[in-house]
Amino acid sequence: MLRLILGLICIVNVCAITSNDLHNKEVEQINNAQKYWIAAPNDITKRGLQYMKKLLGAKLSTDRLPLKEVNVTNAIPSSFDARSAWKYCPSISSIKNQSLCGSCWAIATTSCISDRICIATKGKIKISISAENLLTCCSQCTDPHTAGCDGGYTDKAYLYYQETGLVTGGDYNSKEGCQPYAIGPANPLRLYTPPCSKKCTNKDYKISYSKDKHYGSKSYSLMKDVAKIQGDIMEYGPVTATFDVYSDFGYYKTGVYIKTSNKKIEKHSVKIFGWGDENDVSYWLAANTWGKDWGDNGFFKIRRGTNECGIESQITAGLPKISTA
């Protein structure tokens, strides 16, 4: 019996070593294939591609939002960071964690909405718009017979914000706003979307659901034009970008991401809030939705000006409706 147990332990250890070796080999291959970014293992990549696929799911609508014509009147600086431009808006620096749910589309959209409300009011209104509310209640944001954790459309999300409105709500386990995010660290075998609630789930919040609604005044997409995207960010704030994710993206740690893999997984939505240049490569500065343990404390850079992974052709945004009362 002891011999059998020792044999099983050896088999388990060999499997673990083999798995780690394959993991490290992939990281080494990525780092040897290019010089612009550094790949490193993390909790997401250790769980495998099928796990990472569940964190994606952003979709592109065939009926896109109207294109907004942006007249770039100010000179575009070589670098820009919305966190520095609007220091009084802490939401811009916030990194979200979607947990095991394909809610990137909802989180990236509500993050940009929160930022733009703060920017439009010059810091007078600092709130977090609820990704939970958008994720669970916008049925038109998803495909038929699916729910928000199965993925959604950012353009339809902006229209929902404009037409139906969204309440406030902070991160998981917070007491911020009407409907904080309800999905925390979960069993990796379970993927679910919470039910839509038309009342505040935060019992300590004193404003009613109906009175807590915030609305957009305009929803639009931007042309695949770097200067126009930059001009819109400089005037109104961060934008939502949807791009194709390849198998190597999960390993990103630092530097300017340029894909080395041809294995496309799914689409993903993130927040773009700045740009710059590094090692002779122009980049977009973006916030991911996979927590602070991924990438550069949750942030990443991706090549700008070449439509890397389609990121410049899938930009959506909106303007808030600000009450003057």
Catalytic residues, by residue number, are 104, 268, 288
> At 3, is the secondary structure helix, strand, or coil?
helix
228: phi then psi, degrees, rounded to nearest 5? -70, -40
Cα–Cα distance for residue pair 230/277, rounded to 1 Å: 14
DSSP-assigned letters across all residues of 140-162: GGS-TT--GGG--BHHHHHHHHH
Q: What does the alpha-carbon distance between residue 254 and residue 37 come to, in Å, rounded to a whole number?
A: 6
Beta bridge partners of 291: none
Strand 281-287 vs strand 299-303: parallel, antiparallel, or unpaired? antiparallel
Q: How far apart (Å, rounded) are the C-alpha atoms in residues 33 and 40?
A: 14
The separation between the first and the last C-alpha atoms of the chain, rounded to the nearest angstrom, is 79
Distances (CA, A) of 268 to 29, 144, 169, 253: 24, 20, 22, 17
Query: 49-52: long-range contacts at Cβ-Cβ below 8 A with a sequence spacing of 24 or more?
Result: 49/247, 49/250, 49/265, 51/100, 51/188, 52/245, 52/250, 52/265
Collapsed DSSP state (helix, strand, coil) of residue 21: helix
Report the DSSP pairing between strands 216-222 and 315-320. antiparallel
Task: Give the span between the Cα atoms of 282 and 108, in whole angstroms.
Answer: 22
> What is the C-alpha separation between 237 and 180, in angstroms, rounded?
23
